[in-house]
Amino acid sequence: MPELPEVETIVADLRPHLTGRTIVRCELLFPTIVRHPEPEDFIDSVAGMRIAGMRRRGKFILVDLENDLVLVVHLGMTGQLRLVDADAPLATHTHAIFTLDTGRHLRYRDPRRFGRLLLGTEESLLASKKMPRLGPEPIDPGFAAEELYRRLRNRRTSLKAVLLDQGAIAGVGNIYADESLHRARLRPDRLAGSLSRKSVQRLHESLRVSLLMAIKNRGSSVDTYRDAWGEIGGQQEKLLVYGRAGEPCFTCGRPLAMIRIAGRSTVFCRRCQK
């Protein structure tokens, strides 16, 4: 699933090309990808709307429109959002096409169909639970280590499970949870509430390092992720543990272990992460 760095890359790619543009029309090739409102209302509501800006919240892409409306795109596991010329071949599993006043297409493609499109005011989408309430952004300069400590200290579940909880911290998924915990030298199955302030400080720093490095390298293309131009990212070449079960740890040389936490494969070093 695309995580914070991948979504941030797509938003940064598209923002200068979409801001100020108008959506002339929308075509839904797989209408049930729209979860709110009804697909017919969605099509009618976005047509003629000017795009005021783009931003990211957690793993969500937010396209700000007029009248406080927000077009929300969640990529699910295999979703891709691309800006292409109108005569570009239509890729299989393309579910939505937004035609812009420039004549270009913004296309949403999702082979596994776990993604979704939403439209409404941010407040109404949150109130109706169509969009979840998210925790703080881990790369926000205002997100301090003390706030992370406060969010962990009373949790009686595994450290990795808390990192995957979008209500606790927004945007972190399986890749960067494993990477951050390795950098912080913390076992993923340790109880979150057992961490000292010093350990939380290491985790806070490792989260920022892991996420910002991945943004710089335009995300990790470990599966289907592609940027807004259809290109792969570069962070997969620099991953320390994710996807490397059984391979030697880059620090100590011991084979990396794999367990399952919160239903997700979790890779770590038994020697370096105590």
- Identify the three-state secondary structure at position 144: coil
Whether 264 is catalytic: yes
Whether 156 is catalytic: no
Question: Quick one: tokens of 176?
Answer: 């960067």
| Residue closest to 4 by CA, chosen among 155, 163, 230, 183 | 163
| Residue closest to 191 by CA, chosen among 142, 153, 224 | 153
Cα–Cα distance measured from residue 55 to residue 77, given in angstroms and rounded to the nearest whole number: 20
Of how many residues is the chain composed? Answer: 274
Whether 3 is catalytic: yes
Catalytic residue (one of 2, 5, 138, 188):
2
Contact 222, 242 (CB under 8 A): yes
Catalytic residue (one of 15, 104, 264, 271):
264
Whether 15 is catalytic: no
H or E stretch covering 108:
strand 105-109
Dihedral angle computed from the Cα positions of residues 221, 199, 148 and 63, in that order, rounded to the nearest 10 degrees? -10
Dihedral angle computed from the Cα positions of residues 162, 140, 80 and 1, in that order, rounded to the nearest 10 degrees? -20
Cα–Cα distance measured from residue 37 to residue 26, given in angstroms and rounded to the nearest whole number: 14
Catalytic residue (one of 59, 82, 107, 187):
59
Q: Which residues are catalytic?
A: 2-3, 59, 264
